[in-house]
Amino acid sequence: MSGYVSLPKRLLVGRPLSSEQMGETLLPKWLALPVFCSDPLSSNAYATEEILLVLSVGGLALLHLTPWVAAAVVVLLVTVVVSYRQTCHAYPSGGGAYAVSRANLGQRAALVAAAALLIDYVLTVAVSIAAGVSNLVSAFPGLSPYAVEISIGLVAVLTLANLRGVKESGRAFAVPTYGFVVAVFSMLAIGVARTLTGHAPVAESAAFTIDPGTDALVGLALAAVVLRSFASGCTALTGVEAVSNGVPSFRRPKAGNAAATLAIMAGLTVTMFVGLTFLALASGVHVAEDVSHLVGAPEGYTQRTVIAQVAGAVFGLNTPGFYAVQVFTTLVLVLAANTAYNGFPILASILGQDGFLPRQLSRRGDRLVFSNGIIILSAAAAGLLAAFDASPTRLIQLYILGVFVSFTLSQAGMVRHWTRALREDPDTPRHALHRARAINGFGAVLTTVVLVIVLVSKFSHGAYLVVLAMPVLYLTMRLISRHYARVDAEVTPTPDGVPLPSRVHAVVLVSRLTTPALRALSYARASRPSTLTALTIRTSPEATQRLVDEWEARGVPVPLTLVDSPFRDITRPAVDYIAEFRRQGPRDVVAVYIPEYVVEHWWEQLLHNQSALRLKARLLFQPGVMVISVPWRFGHDAPPTAPARAATSAGGPRVTGLPRRTTARRGVEGADDTVTTVGVRR
């Protein structure tokens, strides 16, 4: 391999893996949890904060609604997880929204789900990285000017880790996930214990009040804020999809292990979310989207994340406990971004196989991962981070719209699935199927309601971008699919096959009498064409005359055809000349031989005329033409040295350009025999 892949790639990505090593990359549950569940786990780092930020639009007055909003999120989360456990069992080969929709709702619904998921995977990376960096900055405020650079650097690290392969990343990522769980649970235990014993921790922002900005919210405006706060809290649900998508990566029994992992994840997430929300309220954390609305904050106050403020209140700012929570929070958010690296490339590869995305996406790279998908995901996420200054609050406005589109389609698909099972599967108990359908039906209704809430409450805050992007992606995939279908129809051979060409006319392009040109002639002769001509385009009379003189002096045994080009263009006269063969014999084929200089450095390419290459590209559009590159590699294809030359000139099978040999076609009498002139004027 070493000759063809560069050392840097090997150092970064690792040695290539053989296709037979595929089985080795399956994951046990304890590794699957960090790989697939860091996204929902890590969303605790911002879900509570987003609820508080939206409610603080109404000043302190609305904060008492926080528990109710949080409770609604928990109900939703449990519903979705229960629904998805059923999906894992029903679709052990990977029950993503795309597969479920395709099986039950048809290809169009499946494509909508796919478009939604692809966009949300990109946003998962962008939001998680942005949130991770904002937690890092909460611990180390000196880094805040470099937030965008750090974010993009982290995307690069994730890219490389995933190009190396899923198993190694699973191992490398286990420690921070479990570290995050332990750190947060420790914080919750201490904080709750202190609160219950009457010594509730006090957040650094507890003394501030929040300027509502507008008058007190009543009626519809109040409802809108509460709904938007709920919609923001729903970020806690992102990533549930990943487990059911990734069932094939689990060890056997794949479906059972995946469902169990989902349940563990749900238990951990709900506990952390409830605990963090409780402690944030108990310690009096006050945050605002616009820091200037914090009344009582000192000059130059920079707002830390909610989890950082809670950790600071429980452990004290800048204590080891505080740093532990912040560092693990940052790391688990980076892993959450990694969840998308497991989902996006697999989904893209399925779409590639089905012909909705470029087929290259369905090929595994030399580390057995879908390298192209990984690279596209990274590029898109890095672009978003750069465009939105790595601000989690701005990026989160685009988020979860896609998640809920795919949730809804997936649940609706499952309802259809169970309905069909009721009809076609007499072996399963009726009540089990009815129960399963009821669960997914409830999930479908609930997620539809939430989708509408999210759409309405976030639309003007940035979600409209996603509303625009989804149909564009959908239509692109439809167009790609149509292209592939058209191509497949066109290239499928008919029973009759393909006719052999009647005759092959060889045309060798010559501009100067050089060894590469002579070699192209000799290769052309070796293919025994029906006719053989050397073609030169006369753009400069002097240069062409020199060629004709040398041609005759050497007695090259191939007729030389001159075509005039009064406008000094090479392509047009050559194409016209070549097309004439086809006009005279529609079943003939023209083989155009182009002596091509192969240089070692790009700058050398600039020194050689590109008109032959332009002609070559143009000829590919001509019917019945094949284009033959006869490469001449500088420094490698040099003629043999003197002794070898002496040996071969004794009488080897060398023909072209031999001055001593006189063939029947050689024009000894005059130019007219060897040189044919075709052209507008002479």
Alpha carbons 516 and 509: distance in angstroms, whole number? 11
> How big is the chain, counted in residues?
682
CB–CB of 405/82 below 8 Å? no
Residues numbered 507-566 forming contacts with a second copy, rule: CB under 8 A: 512-516, 518-519, 521-523, 525-529, 539, 554, 566
Residues numbered 431-460 forming contacts with a second copy, rule: CB under 8 A: none
Binding residue for a second copy, selected from 424, 490, 669, 672, defined by CB under 8 A: 490
Q: Which is nearer to a second copy, 432 or 472 (CB)?
A: 472
Residues numbered 38-67 forming contacts with a second copy, rule: CB under 8 A: none
| Residue 73: HSE in the Cβ half-sphere, 13 Å Cα cutoff | 35
Smallest distance, Å, CB 116 to a second copy?
A: 22
Binding residue for a second copy, selected from 149, 484, 582, 679, defined by CB under 8 A: 484
Smallest distance, Å, CB 652 to a second copy?
A: 6
Smallest distance, Å, CB 386 to a second copy?
A: 23
DSSP 152-200: HHHHHHHHHHHHH-HHHHHHHHHHHHHHHHHHHHHHHHHHHHHHHTT--
DSSP 104-117: HH-HHHHHHHHHHH
> Of 65-73, 135-143, 384-392, 568-576, which part binds a second copy (CB under 8 A)?
568-576
Pairing of strands 560-564, 504-509: unpaired
Binding residue for a second copy, selected from 6, 19, 93, 197, defined by CB under 8 A: 19
Which token pair is 554?
A: 């050497």
Which token pair is 18?
A: 């053989």
Residues numbered 607-626 forming contacts with a second copy, rule: CB under 8 A: 607-610, 616, 620-621, 623, 625-626
CB–CB of 334/35 below 8 Å? no
Q: Which is nearer to a second copy, 196 or 646 (CB)?
A: 646
* Number of other residues whose CB lies within 10 A of the CB of residue 210: 25
> Of 70-78, 243-251, 384-392, 630-638, which part binds a second copy (CB under 8 A)?
630-638
Residues numbered 120-159 forming contacts with a second copy, rule: CB under 8 A: none
3-class DSSP assignment, residue 143? helix
In sequence order, which residues have a C-beta less than 8 Å from that of residue 271 and are 6 or more positions away?
185, 188
> Of 34-42, 133-141, 303-311, 353-361, which part binds a second copy (CB under 8 A)?
353-361
Smallest distance, Å, CB 519 to a second copy?
A: 5
Alpha carbons 566 and 114: distance in angstroms, whole number? 57
Q: Which is nearer to a second copy, 100 or 591 (CB)?
A: 591
CB–CB of 160/390 below 8 Å? no
Cα–Cα separations (whole angstroms), residue 376 to 168, 275, 312, 340, 360: 21, 37, 38, 12, 12
Alpha carbons 551 and 539: distance in angstroms, whole number? 17
In sequence order, which residues have a C-beta less than 8 Å from that of residue 464 and are 6 or more positions away?
none
**Would you count residue 602 as binding a second copy (CB under 8 A)?**
no
In sequence order, which residues have a C-beta less than 8 Å from that of residue 577 and are 6 or more positions away?
507, 535, 561, 563, 678
Q: Which is nearer to a second copy, 387 or 485 (CB)?
A: 485
Q: Which is nearer to a second copy, 276 or 558 (CB)?
A: 558
Q: Which is nearer to a second copy, 94 or 529 (CB)?
A: 529
Q: Which is nearer to a second copy, 377 or 521 (CB)?
A: 521
> Of 131-139, 260-268, 355-363, 668-676, which part binds a second copy (CB under 8 A)?
355-363
Residues numbered 663-682 forming contacts with a second copy, rule: CB under 8 A: 681
Q: Which is nearer to a second copy, 655 or 678 (CB)?
A: 655
Q: Which is nearer to a second copy, 321 or 631 (CB)?
A: 631
**Would you count residue 628 as binding a second copy (CB under 8 A)?**
yes
Which token pair is 443?
A: 């999930």
**Would you count residue 16 as binding a second copy (CB under 8 A)?**
yes
Binding residue for a second copy, selected from 384, 589, 612, 615, defined by CB under 8 A: 589
Which token pair is 104?
A: 């039950």
Q: Which is nearer to a second copy, 153 or 358 (CB)?
A: 358
Phi, psi of 599 (to 5 degrees): -105, 160
Residues numbered 633-662 forming contacts with a second copy, rule: CB under 8 A: 633-639, 645, 648-649, 652-659
